[in-house]
Structure 1
Amino acid sequence: MAERRAVPQIEKPPVGERVGQVEAIWRYPVKSMLGERLPTASIGRSGLCGDRAYALWDHDTGRVASAKNPRLWKDLLSCSARYVEPPLSGKAPPAVAITTPADTMLSSDPEVSARLSDWLERPVSLLDQPPEGASLDQYWPPVPQRAFQDVVNELVLPSGTFFDSCPLHAITTATLERLRTLEPELDFAVERFRPNLLIQPESGDSGFLEEAWIGCTLRLGRELRLRVDDGCPRCVVTTLSQGDLPEDLEILRATARHNKVVAGIRLSVVTPGEVQVGDPVVLESET
């Protein structure tokens, strides 16, 4: 096990400075399934258009199915979801194609919930609107720096959404490189962290630098403005098998050892707009 090292202090850049560019964009049509990497996206007040528009509802627990409780739902990360046509802001989400290891189906299929129930071997419904007071179970694995150890807690979702806590989250390539430098034997693939935005900092910038942007507004491209609300604490999902990535609890333990379990930032939307890969990211203001 690598020893804990001090996190270097990172200075906040001056207002108006370009701090990076958009390296990648992701949307996740169905909560806890693999999503879509996009060249461009529309971001409104409630987040990236079409993101987490669908989720599975577990009839037995009366809660949203989430890989945050891998004891029940880790298999969701072996599924992928993509829209069959682009979602539009303010409109009902279009159909998604869901691919499980056993089958491919459309959300518009009247039998989609039954087919997913058969595959998961428990009764579920595919929803595009969360019930009032919707919640999910989250499992806290044994990570010494966390308050909870090997327990499951209830997390109540923000009203009207399937988001856990915020409409958008981002991470920088600098944070991922810092973790790889500290623990080179581990695979800190960006996909483990399931961000909406991957930001490539300006040349020479390194470390957990996006945390210096907390309390600031970032401008992406010409119009989009996002407020950086706080750092993004990570959960068990970063450790689970997904795609070609194997299960590895040390990913979360390393993030705890070196940066108090935080990797990335949580964002809210100040001014909606379009974002595309290659857009400059400018620190526009701070409060």
Structure 2
Amino acid sequence: MISMGTVAAVRRYPVKSMLGEDLASVMVTHAGLSGDRSYAVIDETGAIGSAKHPRKWGPLLACRSRLADGAVAVELPDGVIRTIGDPDLDARLTTLLGRPVSVSASAPAHSTLERAVPAYEGGVPDAVRSASFVDDTGERITVGKVASGTFFDFGRVHLITTSSLRRLRSVYPVGDFDPRRFRPNLVVDTGDGPPFAEDGWQDGQLRVGEALFRVLVPTPRCVVPALGHDELRADPGIMRAIAREHRVAVFDVGRLACLGVYLEVLEPGTVHLGDAIT
């Protein structure tokens, strides 16, 4: 077994596209981190709330969701906290987003996931870009689906490394490559290791604490890391730097701007801060 580093952060996001929470430990099941992306905000058309379409859903990034004692609480931008199931939460989110929405634990059969198409090369596959269109917000978007039966876009667990973040800071020093921008579940402290080493982990297995994962694929990045997150300012240069520095082949769809990897859970178990990764 080869040491890959240690767990430097564990994060989950109980409501899709809202800010999440730092954890000291978490149970990992075959469905991912317990409580992660358990809910999403959905509008009357069946569109799933995703900051990947920031003109339509960007205000969700000003909300924070937390799971405690089996209930998910949402802190709204004005500091008001409401628990999922409270009708006032849906009413306040409706006001925030300017159209009727509700929080749901399941995606309707006709649900869609909308993504803004960035101008830089490598932001989306060429075939997807050619099929994009401008919606009524004036944004060029594509429309797809979430993974069946979930609110995940693809992999159930997302991992990034400190070495890769350090490399990106070196090529774009004015950018704040705080890992929170990339909404990972696991941040791995890889010490002085080489950047983007995780690309070579594809199809390999990682033991993290009690849990065992298979590495699926590098994580293609959308526009979200360039948006404002909590106190982190918006910065379009973040994603442009990744597109310049690190475009890699993803399946058969071409070379995309990537950072981190998606994981599949092979064996459930508890993961703690500081756990060794082998």
CA shift for structure 1 position 133: 4.8
Bigger mean CA offset, 135-144 vs 186-195: 135-144
Letter of the 1:278 partner, please give it: G
Query: What is the SS of the residue equivalent to 1:96?
Result: strand
Bigger mean CA offset, 180-189 vs 273-282: 180-189
Q: For the residues of structure 2 that align with 1:36 and 1:254, how far apart are their CA atoms?
A: 27
Q: Is the 8 A contact 2:7 2:276 kept in 1?
A: yes
- Quick one: which of 65, 77, 96 aligns to 2:61? 77
Q: For the residues of structure 2 that align with 1:169 and 1:145, how far apart are their CA atoms?
A: 20
Structure 2 equivalent of residue 12 of structure 1: none
- Quick one: which of 155, 161, 184 aligns to 1:195? 184
Structure 1 equivalent of residue 230 of structure 2: 243
Structure 2 equivalent of residue 214 of structure 1: 202
Q: For the residues of structure 2 that align with 1:215 and 1:133, how far apart are their CA atoms?
A: 32
Unaligned runs of 5+ in 2: 133-138, 248-256
Structure 2 equivalent of residue 56 of structure 1: 41
The answer to whether structure 1 residue 226 and structure 2 residue 203 are counterparts is no
The answer to whether structure 1 residue 97 and structure 2 residue 73 are counterparts is yes
Q: Is the 8 A contact 1:47 1:168 kept in 2?
A: yes
Residues 145-183 of structure 1: CA deviation (Å, up to 9, x unaligned): 343386200121111101111101100000100101121
Q: Is the 8 A contact 2:223 2:239 kept in 1?
A: yes
Q: For the residues of structure 2 that align with 1:275 and 1:127, how far apart are their CA atoms?
A: 27
Q: For the residues of structure 1 that align with 2:30 and 2:111, how far apart are their CA atoms?
A: 21
Residues 97-133 of structure 1: CA deviation (Å, up to 9, x unaligned): 1111123211131332122212322100110122235
Structure 2 equivalent of residue 267 of structure 1: 263
Structure 2 equivalent of residue 129 of structure 1: 106
Bigger mean CA offset, 156-165 vs 131-140: 131-140
Structure 2 equivalent of residue 42 of structure 1: 27
Match runs of 1:174-189 below 5 Å: 174-189=163-178
Match runs of 1:142-153 below 5 Å: 142-146=119-123, 147=126, 148=129, 151-153=140-142
Letter of the 2:263 partner, please give it: L
Q: Is the 8 A contact 1:95 1:108 kept in 2?
A: no
Distance 1:273 1:110, change over 3 A: same
Distance 1:133 1:169, change over 3 A: farther
Q: Report how many residues are paired.
A: 256
Q: For the residues of structure 2 that align with 1:170 and 1:46, how far apart are their CA atoms?
A: 15
Residues 18-52 of structure 1: CA deviation (Å, up to 9, x unaligned): 11111100010100000000000011001000000
Unaligned runs of 5+ in 1: 1-15, 86-93, 283-287
Query: What is the SS of the residue equivalent to 1:18?
Result: coil
Q: Is the 8 A contact 1:132 1:159 kept in 2?
A: no
Residues 202-260 of structure 1: CA deviation (Å, up to 9, x unaligned): x4312111111111000112x31000011001110011011111111111111000001
Q: Is the 8 A contact 1:43 1:273 kept in 2?
A: yes
Superposition RMSD in Å: 1.4
The sequence identity of aligned pairs, in percent, is 41
Residues 79-111 of structure 1: CA deviation (Å, up to 9, x unaligned): 1011132xxxxxxxx321111112321113133
